[in-house]
Amino acid sequence: MAAPWGEYFSDGSQVSCQTCQEQRLQASLNISNQAYAISAGVSLEGQQLFQTIHKTNKDCKWQEKNIVAMEEVVITPPYQVENCKGKEGSALSHVCKIVEKHFRDVESQKILQCSQAQQPQKEAALS
């Protein structure tokens, strides 16, 4: 039996219109969060951290230049673990772990990019 008009569309698979609307809303929120951060003068590091936290927990918003996660944790510039403030508990611990991992990953990425940039120089020196 065919789905009622407007509930589904088909391009070989069925996807609910509600799912599409949720995805469009999420994309719109991501764009508005990014635009707010840029207009507020938030550093690139702060914007990247916000995106990382937001991937893990959608309950994340800007309050001026501060990141508010899980309604309990506030991260102030320069957005390091020691800048995470909130009531001691699981929310603060969870957000601190996300921040720590984010900066470990950023550092790993920098090291990888640096070693890749040096590789052609080493090859040229050996030639």
Residue 23 covered by a domain: no
Structural domain contains residue 104 = yes
In a domain, 69, yes or no: yes
Rg (CA), the chain: 21
89 vs 13: CA distance, rounded Å:
44
| The total number of structural domains that make up the chain | 1
Q: Which domain holds residue 63?
A: 42-113
Regarding beta strands 8-10 and 14-16, do their DSSP bridges make them parallel or antiparallel, or are they unpaired?
antiparallel
d(CA 40, CA 94): 26
State pLDDT tens for residues 25-70: 565 556 666 677 776 789 999 999 999 999 999 899 999 999 999 9
Residue 7 in any domain: the answer is no
* Confidence band of 81 (pLDDT split at 50, 70, 90): very high
User: In this structure, is residue 86 part of a structural domain?
Assistant: yes
pTM score, whole prediction: 0.67
Exposed/middle/buried for residue 41 (C-beta within 10 Å: 0-12, 13-18, 19+): exposed
DSSP at 5: B
Q: What separation in angstroms does the CA of 91 have from each of 60, 96, 115?
A: 12, 9, 36
Cα dist from 38 to 11, 24, 74, whole Å: 37, 21, 19
Count the Cβ atoms, other than its own, within 10 Å of residue 9. Answer: 13
- Write the pLDDT tens digit of every residue in 87-111: 999 999 999 999 999 999 999 998 9
